[in-house]
Amino acid sequence: VDTESFAVFADFSYDLTDQLSLSVGGRWTQDKKSVDQLRQNYLGIKSPFFGNSAAIPAGRPSTDYTNSDTYSEFTPRISASYKFTPELTGYASYGRGFKSGGFDMRGDASLYPETINGYQPELVDTYEVGLKGSLLDRRINFATALFKSEYTDQQITSQFFIPPASVVSFVDNAGSSEIWGWELEASARITDSFIPRLTLGYLDAKFNEFVTFNPLTGKRENMADQRLFQNTPDWTANIALPYSLDLGDRGSVVFTPMASYRGATQMFETPIPLLDQGSYWLYDATLMWTAPDARYRVSLAGRNLGDERYRAGGYNFPGAITGDSVIGFYGAPRTVTLSVTANF
């Protein structure tokens, strides 16, 4: 695939008053993509493209085509912020995002002929309102935001099984979706040595439309009621409780226990019970000593101290060609690391 990309953009900010500021920007992007794709099996160890001129083709090419397309979009952005007090600022913003279209280099035209037409750009409109600042004589610092993202022509990699032994994967403009979210970051200075931190997030993501190939009927259908967002937990959280101790001419010590939470997720848009991951907590801790001149540092870190067994990824390959293979990739088990750093 050859890609030629051209873009122009501008961004302006202006203080309307001492309290109210406005920022406006825009970008125009044009991508031209040309594709020349060959998908061919050969008998032997190497194909002609890797030095084996005597390689014999095994059957007809499953994909052999050339094509090109041009994708362009104007994406604006506008935001306004207002200082209620010197320590408290609110803001609101709108922005449009553009993800260029293209051609699927894994496309198999013999099984999914539409792959030669490529896929179209994906657009997202995002709205956000937020508040950030300090309270109680700056002993509490926080930033919180409520946002909504609306996707159209969403690009999704889908796969389906064709009996007896074929698995088809393709990129498709499946449809539209909405994501509502809320985020909070906060820290509290209990003492100069003890400053807990909290991060909290919530997501409500759903497909409004998911039009894709249904292998059961051989037609493109809206299957939004059977699809969920992959790798999208509803709640996430992180709590850190760092405590620092000044040892004078012997340096300083910081002890930081942490806990993080991740809600239940699906690996793919369709449920796969053997792969999908339930909610879980992870517990970490770090003890770090720093020399008075900061030249030397010794750190003892423990990760996943609860030895939680959780899946971070996976694949599902049904059918005789793979022996109904379900593969899960797991996060690291309990791990303890000692590191020594010297600055010269």
State whether residue 88 is helix, strand or coil: strand
| Both tokens assigned to 269 | 């848009």
pLDDT given for residue 97 in this prediction: 96
Q: What is the pTM of this model?
A: 0.85
| Both tokens assigned to 195 | 């400053």
What CA–CA distance (Å, rounded) separates 276 from 278? 7
Query: Is pLDDT of 219 > 90?
Result: no
Residue ranges and CATH numbers for the domains of the chain are: 1-36+72-227 (2.40.170.20), 246-344 (no CATH)
Q: Which of 205, 330, 201 is nearest to 260 (CA)?
A: 201
Q: What does pLDDT average to over the chain?
A: 92
Q: Could you give the percent of the chain with pLDDT greater than 70?
A: 96
pLDDT given for residue 187 in this prediction: 97
